[in-house]
Amino acid sequence: MASVALSEAEKVYIVHGVQEDLRVDGRGCEDYRYVEVETDVVSNTSGSARVKLGHTDILVGVKAEMGTPKLEKPNEGYLEFFVDCSANATPEFEGRGGDDLGTEIANTLYRIFNNKSSVDLQSLCISPREHCWILYVDVLLLECGGNLFDTICIAVKAALFNTRIPRVRVLEDEEGSKDIELSDDPYDCIRLSVENVPCIVTLCKIGYRHVVDATLQEEACSLASLLVSVTSTGVVTCMRKVGKGSLDPESIFEMMETGKRVGKVLHASLQSVLHKEESLGPKRQKVGFLG
Protein backbone atom coordinates (compact mmCIF):
# COMPACT_ATOMS: atom_id res chain seq x y z
CA MET A 1 0.00 0.00 0.00
CA ALA A 2 1.23 3.51 -0.78
CA SER A 3 2.45 5.26 2.36
CA VAL A 4 3.88 8.56 3.50
CA ALA A 5 6.41 9.37 6.26
CA LEU A 6 5.27 11.85 8.93
CA SER A 7 7.08 13.39 11.89
CA GLU A 8 5.72 12.86 15.41
CA ALA A 9 4.62 16.53 15.55
CA GLU A 10 2.58 16.12 12.33
CA LYS A 11 0.94 12.97 13.67
CA VAL A 12 0.00 14.70 16.96
CA TYR A 13 -1.48 17.63 14.96
CA ILE A 14 -3.63 15.27 12.83
CA VAL A 15 -4.76 13.12 15.80
CA HIS A 16 -5.73 16.13 17.94
CA GLY A 17 -7.65 17.64 15.01
CA VAL A 18 -9.63 14.41 14.49
CA GLN A 19 -10.61 14.37 18.20
CA GLU A 20 -12.13 17.84 17.64
CA ASP A 21 -13.95 16.68 14.44
CA LEU A 22 -11.75 18.98 12.36
CA ARG A 23 -9.40 17.37 9.87
CA VAL A 24 -6.38 18.98 8.18
CA ASP A 25 -8.33 19.71 4.97
CA GLY A 26 -11.31 21.18 6.86
CA ARG A 27 -13.61 18.14 6.62
CA GLY A 28 -15.52 16.56 9.50
CA CYS A 29 -14.92 12.92 10.48
CA GLU A 30 -17.78 11.60 8.30
CA ASP A 31 -17.14 13.71 5.18
CA TYR A 32 -15.85 12.45 1.83
CA ARG A 33 -13.62 14.48 -0.45
CA TYR A 34 -14.94 15.67 -3.82
CA VAL A 35 -15.48 12.64 -6.10
CA GLU A 36 -15.20 12.83 -9.90
CA VAL A 37 -16.99 10.05 -11.81
CA GLU A 38 -16.92 9.59 -15.58
CA THR A 39 -18.28 6.55 -17.42
CA ASP A 40 -17.72 5.24 -20.96
CA VAL A 41 -14.07 6.36 -21.06
CA VAL A 42 -12.55 3.30 -22.82
CA SER A 43 -13.97 2.56 -26.27
CA ASN A 44 -13.09 -1.14 -26.67
CA THR A 45 -14.88 -2.33 -23.51
CA SER A 46 -18.47 -3.32 -22.69
CA GLY A 47 -18.45 -0.72 -19.92
CA SER A 48 -15.90 1.50 -18.21
CA ALA A 49 -15.52 4.21 -15.58
CA ARG A 50 -12.85 6.46 -14.16
CA VAL A 51 -13.11 7.77 -10.60
CA LYS A 52 -10.92 10.38 -8.92
CA LEU A 53 -11.18 10.82 -5.16
CA GLY A 54 -8.66 13.34 -3.90
CA HIS A 55 -5.33 12.13 -5.27
CA THR A 56 -6.58 8.58 -5.86
CA ASP A 57 -7.30 7.83 -9.52
CA ILE A 58 -8.89 4.52 -10.62
CA LEU A 59 -9.82 3.23 -14.07
CA VAL A 60 -12.13 0.20 -14.45
CA GLY A 61 -12.98 -1.62 -17.68
CA VAL A 62 -15.56 -4.41 -18.03
CA LYS A 63 -15.33 -6.86 -20.94
CA ALA A 64 -18.18 -9.32 -21.60
CA GLU A 65 -17.10 -12.62 -23.18
CA MET A 66 -19.00 -15.83 -23.80
CA GLY A 67 -17.92 -18.89 -21.82
CA THR A 68 -19.12 -22.00 -20.00
CA PRO A 69 -20.94 -21.78 -16.64
CA LYS A 70 -19.25 -23.18 -13.55
CA LEU A 71 -20.23 -26.76 -12.67
CA GLU A 72 -21.59 -25.81 -9.26
CA LYS A 73 -23.67 -22.92 -10.73
CA PRO A 74 -24.90 -24.12 -14.17
CA ASN A 75 -27.61 -21.44 -14.45
CA GLU A 76 -25.38 -18.41 -13.78
CA GLY A 77 -22.69 -16.32 -15.40
CA TYR A 78 -19.90 -14.92 -13.26
CA LEU A 79 -17.43 -12.09 -12.73
CA GLU A 80 -13.64 -12.27 -12.82
CA PHE A 81 -11.52 -9.54 -11.23
CA PHE A 82 -8.00 -8.46 -12.11
CA VAL A 83 -6.23 -5.57 -10.38
CA ASP A 84 -3.16 -3.92 -11.90
CA CYS A 85 -1.14 -1.66 -9.61
CA SER A 86 0.62 0.65 -12.05
CA ALA A 87 4.17 1.71 -11.15
CA ASN A 88 3.09 5.26 -12.10
CA ALA A 89 0.72 5.25 -9.10
CA THR A 90 3.57 5.07 -6.58
CA PRO A 91 7.25 4.03 -6.80
CA GLU A 92 6.48 1.27 -4.26
CA PHE A 93 4.65 -0.65 -7.04
CA GLU A 94 7.78 -0.98 -9.23
CA GLY A 95 8.71 -4.53 -10.24
CA ARG A 96 6.38 -6.88 -8.40
CA GLY A 97 5.78 -4.41 -5.57
CA GLY A 98 2.05 -4.05 -6.25
CA ASP A 99 1.27 -7.76 -6.76
CA ASP A 100 0.29 -8.47 -3.15
CA LEU A 101 -1.94 -5.41 -2.97
CA GLY A 102 -3.55 -6.30 -6.32
CA THR A 103 -4.33 -9.82 -5.08
CA GLU A 104 -5.71 -8.45 -1.79
CA ILE A 105 -8.04 -6.01 -3.61
CA ALA A 106 -9.19 -8.71 -6.08
CA ASN A 107 -9.95 -11.13 -3.21
CA THR A 108 -11.94 -8.41 -1.42
CA LEU A 109 -13.99 -7.77 -4.59
CA TYR A 110 -14.67 -11.52 -4.94
CA ARG A 111 -15.95 -11.56 -1.34
CA ILE A 112 -18.30 -8.65 -2.02
CA PHE A 113 -19.72 -10.10 -5.24
CA ASN A 114 -19.82 -13.75 -4.14
CA ASN A 115 -23.54 -13.71 -3.38
CA LYS A 116 -26.79 -13.70 -5.33
CA SER A 117 -27.99 -10.32 -4.10
CA SER A 118 -25.18 -8.08 -5.48
CA VAL A 119 -25.62 -8.78 -9.21
CA ASP A 120 -28.28 -10.90 -10.93
CA LEU A 121 -25.89 -13.57 -12.22
CA GLN A 122 -28.76 -15.63 -13.67
CA SER A 123 -29.39 -12.87 -16.22
CA LEU A 124 -25.87 -13.61 -17.54
CA CYS A 125 -26.81 -17.22 -18.38
CA ILE A 126 -27.48 -17.87 -22.09
CA SER A 127 -28.22 -21.61 -21.99
CA PRO A 128 -27.81 -23.63 -18.75
CA ARG A 129 -24.61 -25.73 -18.48
CA GLU A 130 -23.51 -24.63 -21.95
CA HIS A 131 -23.14 -20.89 -22.47
CA CYS A 132 -23.01 -17.83 -20.24
CA TRP A 133 -21.55 -14.34 -20.15
CA ILE A 134 -18.34 -13.88 -18.15
CA LEU A 135 -17.66 -10.31 -17.09
CA TYR A 136 -13.92 -9.60 -16.84
CA VAL A 137 -13.53 -6.59 -14.55
CA ASP A 138 -10.08 -5.01 -14.92
CA VAL A 139 -9.08 -2.44 -12.30
CA LEU A 140 -6.11 -0.15 -12.97
CA LEU A 141 -4.62 1.97 -10.19
CA LEU A 142 -3.39 5.16 -11.86
CA GLU A 143 -2.62 7.11 -8.69
CA CYS A 144 -2.76 6.32 -4.96
CA GLY A 145 -3.72 9.07 -2.55
CA GLY A 146 -5.43 7.13 0.23
CA ASN A 147 -8.77 5.35 0.56
CA LEU A 148 -8.17 2.85 -2.25
CA PHE A 149 -10.93 0.34 -1.49
CA ASP A 150 -13.76 2.90 -1.44
CA THR A 151 -12.63 4.48 -4.72
CA ILE A 152 -12.27 1.10 -6.44
CA CYS A 153 -15.78 0.01 -5.37
CA ILE A 154 -17.30 3.27 -6.65
CA ALA A 155 -15.47 2.78 -9.98
CA VAL A 156 -16.56 -0.89 -10.28
CA LYS A 157 -20.20 0.01 -9.58
CA ALA A 158 -20.09 2.86 -12.14
CA ALA A 159 -18.46 0.60 -14.77
CA LEU A 160 -21.08 -2.14 -14.23
CA PHE A 161 -23.83 0.49 -14.55
CA ASN A 162 -22.28 1.52 -17.88
CA THR A 163 -21.91 -2.10 -19.12
CA ARG A 164 -23.96 -3.15 -22.13
CA ILE A 165 -24.08 -6.83 -23.05
CA PRO A 166 -25.26 -7.85 -26.57
CA ARG A 167 -28.63 -9.59 -26.65
CA VAL A 168 -28.29 -13.24 -27.64
CA ARG A 169 -30.83 -15.69 -29.06
CA VAL A 170 -30.40 -19.46 -28.87
CA LEU A 171 -31.76 -21.17 -32.00
CA GLU A 172 -32.38 -24.92 -31.95
CA ASP A 173 -32.79 -26.93 -35.18
CA GLU A 174 -34.75 -30.15 -35.70
CA GLU A 175 -31.75 -32.32 -34.80
CA GLY A 176 -31.40 -30.64 -31.41
CA SER A 177 -28.15 -28.77 -32.11
CA LYS A 178 -28.08 -25.18 -30.84
CA ASP A 179 -26.85 -22.07 -32.61
CA ILE A 180 -26.20 -18.75 -30.92
CA GLU A 181 -27.23 -15.60 -32.75
CA LEU A 182 -25.97 -12.19 -31.66
CA SER A 183 -28.13 -9.15 -32.38
CA ASP A 184 -26.76 -6.83 -35.11
CA ASP A 185 -28.32 -3.80 -33.46
CA PRO A 186 -25.72 -2.16 -31.11
CA TYR A 187 -28.59 -0.70 -29.05
CA ASP A 188 -30.23 -4.12 -28.59
CA CYS A 189 -28.45 -5.05 -25.38
CA ILE A 190 -29.08 -6.02 -21.78
CA ARG A 191 -28.10 -3.87 -18.82
CA LEU A 192 -27.16 -5.01 -15.35
CA SER A 193 -29.09 -3.75 -12.34
CA VAL A 194 -26.52 -2.27 -9.93
CA GLU A 195 -29.15 -1.29 -7.35
CA ASN A 196 -27.86 -3.91 -4.88
CA VAL A 197 -24.14 -3.66 -5.69
CA PRO A 198 -22.47 -2.71 -2.39
CA CYS A 199 -19.80 -0.07 -1.85
CA ILE A 200 -17.00 -0.29 0.68
CA VAL A 201 -16.76 2.38 3.36
CA THR A 202 -13.32 2.34 5.01
CA LEU A 203 -13.25 3.66 8.57
CA CYS A 204 -9.82 4.48 9.99
CA LYS A 205 -9.43 4.54 13.77
CA ILE A 206 -7.38 7.60 14.72
CA GLY A 207 -6.99 8.14 18.45
CA TYR A 208 -10.41 7.64 20.06
CA ARG A 209 -12.38 8.48 16.92
CA HIS A 210 -12.77 7.11 13.40
CA VAL A 211 -12.81 8.89 10.03
CA VAL A 212 -14.07 8.02 6.56
CA ASP A 213 -12.15 8.68 3.32
CA ALA A 214 -8.76 9.01 5.02
CA THR A 215 -5.88 10.71 3.20
CA LEU A 216 -2.42 9.09 3.06
CA GLN A 217 -1.35 11.32 5.97
CA GLU A 218 -4.33 10.20 8.08
CA GLU A 219 -3.72 6.53 7.18
CA ALA A 220 -0.18 6.96 8.53
CA CYS A 221 -1.70 7.93 11.91
CA SER A 222 -4.05 4.94 12.01
CA LEU A 223 -3.10 1.50 13.33
CA ALA A 224 -6.37 -0.23 12.41
CA SER A 225 -9.14 0.24 9.86
CA LEU A 226 -12.48 -1.44 9.26
CA LEU A 227 -13.71 -2.11 5.71
CA VAL A 228 -17.53 -2.22 5.73
CA SER A 229 -19.37 -3.34 2.60
CA VAL A 230 -22.75 -1.55 2.56
CA THR A 231 -25.70 -1.71 0.15
CA SER A 232 -27.87 1.27 -0.85
CA THR A 233 -30.40 0.29 1.85
CA GLY A 234 -27.73 0.28 4.58
CA VAL A 235 -27.35 -3.50 4.84
CA VAL A 236 -23.81 -4.66 5.76
CA THR A 237 -22.80 -7.57 3.50
CA CYS A 238 -19.28 -8.15 4.82
CA MET A 239 -16.57 -6.64 7.00
CA ARG A 240 -12.82 -6.86 7.19
CA LYS A 241 -10.25 -5.41 9.57
CA VAL A 242 -6.92 -4.24 8.17
CA GLY A 243 -3.84 -2.89 9.94
CA LYS A 244 -1.62 -4.02 12.79
CA GLY A 245 -3.68 -2.51 15.62
CA SER A 246 -6.71 -3.91 17.42
CA LEU A 247 -10.30 -2.71 17.69
CA ASP A 248 -12.51 -3.14 20.75
CA PRO A 249 -16.11 -4.40 20.27
CA GLU A 250 -17.65 -1.02 21.09
CA SER A 251 -15.52 0.72 18.44
CA ILE A 252 -16.44 -1.92 15.85
CA PHE A 253 -20.16 -1.39 16.54
CA GLU A 254 -19.80 2.42 16.28
CA MET A 255 -17.79 2.08 13.04
CA MET A 256 -20.42 -0.25 11.55
CA GLU A 257 -23.20 2.24 12.34
CA THR A 258 -21.16 5.08 10.79
CA GLY A 259 -20.45 2.89 7.74
CA LYS A 260 -24.18 2.21 7.24
CA ARG A 261 -25.08 5.88 7.59
CA VAL A 262 -22.33 7.16 5.30
CA GLY A 263 -22.78 4.28 2.82
CA LYS A 264 -26.45 5.10 2.18
CA VAL A 265 -25.58 8.73 1.36
CA LEU A 266 -22.67 7.62 -0.86
CA HIS A 267 -24.94 5.25 -2.85
CA ALA A 268 -27.65 7.89 -3.29
CA SER A 269 -25.12 10.46 -4.55
CA LEU A 270 -23.48 7.97 -6.94
CA GLN A 271 -26.81 6.76 -8.41
CA SER A 272 -27.91 10.38 -8.90
CA VAL A 273 -24.69 11.26 -10.76
CA LEU A 274 -24.80 8.13 -12.95
CA HIS A 275 -28.44 8.69 -13.98
CA LYS A 276 -27.81 12.39 -14.59
CA GLU A 277 -24.76 11.63 -16.78
CA GLU A 278 -26.71 9.01 -18.76
CA SER A 279 -29.66 11.36 -19.31
CA LEU A 280 -27.35 13.79 -21.18
CA GLY A 281 -26.80 11.11 -23.87
CA PRO A 282 -24.61 12.13 -26.84
CA LYS A 283 -24.63 15.76 -25.65
CA ARG A 284 -22.43 14.81 -22.69
CA GLN A 285 -19.02 16.46 -22.81
CA LYS A 286 -16.35 13.83 -22.29
CA VAL A 287 -13.33 14.76 -20.19
CA GLY A 288 -11.27 11.57 -20.73
CA PHE A 289 -7.59 11.53 -19.80
CA LEU A 290 -6.70 15.05 -20.91
CA GLY A 291 -8.99 16.83 -18.47
> What does the DSSP assignment read for 136-180?
EEEEEEEE--S-HHHHHHHHHHHHHHH-EEE-EEEEE-TTS-EEE
pLDDT over 60 (residue 1): no
pLDDT value, residue 150: 95
pLDDT over 80 (residue 281): no
Secondary structure E strands in the chain: 35-39, 47-53, 56-67, 78-85, 125-127, 131-143, 164-166, 168-172, 178-182, 189-191, 199-206, 209-212, 224-230, 236-242
- In angstroms, the Cα distances linking 267 to 5, 79, 182, 225, 260 are 33, 21, 34, 21, 11
By 3-state DSSP, what share of the chain in percent is helix, strand and coil, each rounded to 5?
30, 30, 40
Amino acid at 27: R
What confidence tens digit (pLDDT) does each residue in 259-276 have?
999 999 999 999 999 998
What is the predicted pLDDT for the residue at 2?
62
Q: What is the overall mean pLDDT for the chain?
A: 88
pLDDT at 262: 95
* 290 pLDDT above the threshold of 70: no
Q: What percent of the chain has pLDDT over 70?
A: 94
The residue with greater pLDDT, 94 or 197, is 197
Name every residue whose Cβ is closer than 8 Å to that of residue 239 and which is 6 or more positions away in sequence: 226, 227, 228, 229, 256
Distance, CA of 59 to CA of 105 (rounded, Å): 14
Dist CA 135 CA 130 (whole Å): 16
Quick check: 174 pLDDT over 60? yes
The model's confidence at residue 249, banded by pLDDT at 50, 70 and 90, is very high
| Per-residue confidence (pLDDT) for residue 289, from 0 to 100 | 59
Distance CA 229, CA 216 (A): 21
Q: pTM for this structure?
A: 0.91
Task: Specify the 3-state DSSP secondary structure of 100.
Answer: helix
Whole-number Å distance between alpha carbons of 258 and 198: 15
What pLDDT, on a 0 to 100 scale, did the predictor assign at position 59? 95
Which residue, 1, 9, 36, is CA-closest to 273? 36
Rounded distance, CA 204 to CA 200, Å? 13
Give me the pLDDT at residue 214, please: 92
Residue 87 in this model has a pLDDT that exceeds 80: no
Contact indicator for 287, 38 with CB cutoff of 8 Å? yes
Confidence of residue 90 (pLDDT cuts 50, 70, 90): confident
- The yes-or-no verdict on residue 97 having pLDDT over 80 is no
φ and ψ of 142, to 5 deg? -90, -35
pLDDT at 180 over 90: no
Among 82-86, 89-93, 260-264, name the one with the lowest average pLDDT.
Answer: 89-93
Count of all residues that appear for the chain in the document: 291
User: Which CATH topology does 8-280 take?
Assistant: Ribosomal Protein S5; domain 2 (3.30.230)
pLDDT recorded at residue 78 = 93
